[in-house]
Amino acid sequence: MTQIGHIVIGLIIVVAAIYLIIFVSQRLTARKVNKLVQKKSQLTEIPMRDRLIKGRQLSLTGQSLKQFQLLETKYNHLEKTEFNSIDLKANTVLFDSQGLNFLKTSQGMKELQRQIREAETTIDVVNQGLNDLEQLDEAHKQAVKDLEAKYQELRKLLLSQNFAFGPAIDKLEEILGSLEEDFDEFSRLTEMGDHATAAGIYETLSMETNQLEQRIEQIPTINTELTDTIPGQLTELQNAYNKMAAEGFKFETNIEKQLANIAEQRQATLELLQELTLKKATEEIAKMKAQTELLYETFDEEAKAAQVVWENNEKLTGYVAQNKRQNHELYARLDRLNQDFVFSKDELGQIRSWEIQLGNNTVNFEELRQHISRHEAVFSTLIGQQEAMITDLKRIAQEQTTMWQAFQELPTVLGQSKKRVTLLADKLRLIQRSFERQGLPGLPDTYLSIFYSVSDELERVKQQLGFSRVNIDDVLRQLSIVTADLDTLQERTDSLIEAATITERLVRKALMYRDNPAVAQSTQQARYFYETSYDYEQSMKTLAVILDQIEPGLTNRVVQQYRQEQATLQAEYLEQE
């Protein structure tokens, strides 16, 4: 095939492709235009004209009528102009699509789509506007009925229960009258169909009506507080104050002035109620209630305090008499005991000190009673003084009782002290016999010093107990010392006898090793400590060192055996007793 043939075939193919593109584009454009035309037809079928005719039947006027006319104008322009413009544009787009000007066709399609959207928007706006006007008309007509019924109910309430609103009734009726005037205007505008203007009035009318209802609900409680509750409390408080003042009660604050202030505050709050200043009135009522409650508490506290004061007076009278009687008895008892005993704690000075303290308390108590009898004292301020005196008198009474018990116990303590001296002397003799039985060659000087010291101490106590007047405190102190020293002597005696006995047993053990030079030397040294210096413990230690080397643990076994024997003897002795 020649080159020309190829070119011809190529041109045919290009032409065919172009034709195919044009054909497909025309078919697609036609389909889109048909859909838009169908949508336009659907919009024309919406019964908007019927809605407009129904809207004219609302008898609209004023701003509402202007709104309706604007909606009607919008729809009329759509119906008479825009729909035809849409049809014209659709035909233009179809015609343009037959050629090769794709750009113009695309722009025409976009314009047609825009017109359809604007038509839809216009219908939505008109439809919604008509709905709003219908609803507003219905709402306003219903509001007229509701408000008319509500105002009739409020007027009836104010007339039938005007006493419940006190000084606020005139202001309430004035507000209700003003609301009824605004209602008449709202009703007239609604009847005329000027709903746009009526809406502004209704918004204010509704808010002020709700506010009036809230006030009508709140005021009776406030009025009751101001005209019934608080006046009743003031009367009750005044009567209580008059009665208590007649009975001699005094108060730290000026009660009459407080009552007058509350009365003035109540009158000022009534004026607030008259002007419908309800929040401020409620706050003032709360303050007055707090003040009256405080006065009730004050009266109650003073009444209770008076009862406590009278009870404390009786207690104080009894305590003063009891303490004086006890002090007198202590004087007499001390005088008798002075014949047999020596006192070292200045008991007489203590009794005189109590007498002075009782005198001061008696003077204070008498001054307090005078204040009460002359009605010069606030009862609640006296309780602290009384309780301080009661505490002081209780302390004195307790101290007096302690001294009296000590006086009562003196003869018994004296007898017990004599018995205790006898027992201690017997114990000392037993100690002496215990080391005498051992047949020891002698006793260390340190031990003898302790023994004779204890013996001398015991003798001094015996001498004191033999005096015509005994110092029991000194006797008890010395007995305590002697007892402790005797216990120490007993321990030293036991240790000394144990050391001497263990030494003797170790010496007998050492004889078994007499051939051992070290043992012989230690035995000789131990004998020196035992027989010459009487240092039995050192003697025992000297033998223990060498013998424990030969027989480990020997000394410990001998000691344990000795102590076991002593424990057995002690147990047998206790059984015999």
Closest CA relative to residue 208, chosen from 247, 182, 246, 238: 182
Q: What is the pLDDT along the chain (577 residues), one digit of tens a residue?
A: 566 655 555 555 544 444 444 444 555 666 766 676 667 666 666 676 666 666 555 544 446 556 656 766 776 676 677 666 666 766 666 666 665 555 666 676 777 677 777 777 877 777 776 666 666 565 555 555 666 666 667 677 767 677 777 887 778 778 777 767 766 776 776 666 666 677 777 777 778 778 877 887 888 888 888 888 889 999 998 999 899 888 888 888 888 999 999 999 999 988 888 888 889 999 998 999 999 999 999 889 988 888 988 888 888 888 888 888 998 888 888 888 888 777 877 788 888 988 888 888 888 888 888 887 777 778 788 888 888 888 988 898 898 888 888 888 888 888 898 899 899 999 999 988 988 888 889 999 899 999 999 999 999 988 888 888 888 888 889 999 999 999 999 999 999 999 999 999 999 988 888 889 998 899 999 999 998 989 999 999 999 999 999 999 999 999 999 889 888 887 776 666 5
Question: φ, ψ for residue 346 (rounded to 5)?
Answer: 55, 50
Closest CA relative to residue 142, chosen from 208, 67, 198, 181: 198
Residue 408 has a pLDDT of 84
Closest CA relative to residue 216, chosen from 254, 162, 263: 162
Residue 265 has a pLDDT of 93
Tell me the three state secondary structure of residue 441: coil
Residue type at 350? Q
CA triplet 545, 548, 553: central angle to 5 degrees? 130
For residue 347, the Cα-to-chain-centroid distance in whole angstroms is 52
DSSP string, 347-388: HHHHHHHHHHHHHHHHHHHHHHHHHHHTT-S-HHHHHHHHHH
Residue 37 has a pLDDT of 66
Other CB atoms within a 10 A radius of the CB of residue 122 amount to: 19
Instruction: Give, as one character, the DSSP assignment of residue 468.
Output: S
CA triplet 328, 334, 337: central angle to 5 degrees? 145
Instruction: Give, as one character, the DSSP assignment of residue 341.
Output: B
Residue 56 has a pLDDT of 55
Query: Which stretch of DSSP H or E encloses residue 397?
Result: helix 379-437
Q: Domain boundaries in the chain?
A: 18-153, 248-426, 439-575
Residue 60 has a pLDDT of 45
Closest CA relative to residue 494, chosen from 422, 577, 559, 445: 559
Encode pLDDT of 104-156 as tens digits: 666 767 776 777 777 778 777 777 766 666 665 655 555 556 666 666 676 77
What's the rounded Cα separation, in Å, for the pair 95 and 103? 13
Residue 16 has a pLDDT of 46
What's the rounded Cα separation, in Å, for the pair 85 and 144? 46
For residue 105, the Cα-to-chain-centroid distance in whole angstroms is 84
Give the Å distances, CA to CA, from 21 to 62, 105, 109, 295, 424: 60, 14, 18, 105, 146
Other CB atoms within a 10 A radius of the CB of residue 377 amount to: 19
Instruction: Looking at 161-194, list the stretches that DSSP marks H as alpha helix, in order from N- to C-terminal side.
Output: 169-192
What's the rounded Cα separation, in Å, for the pair 130 and 67? 9
10 CB-contact burial (10 Å; exposed 0-12 / middle 13-18 / buried 19+): exposed
Residue 20 has a pLDDT of 45
Structure tokens at 383: 């309780």
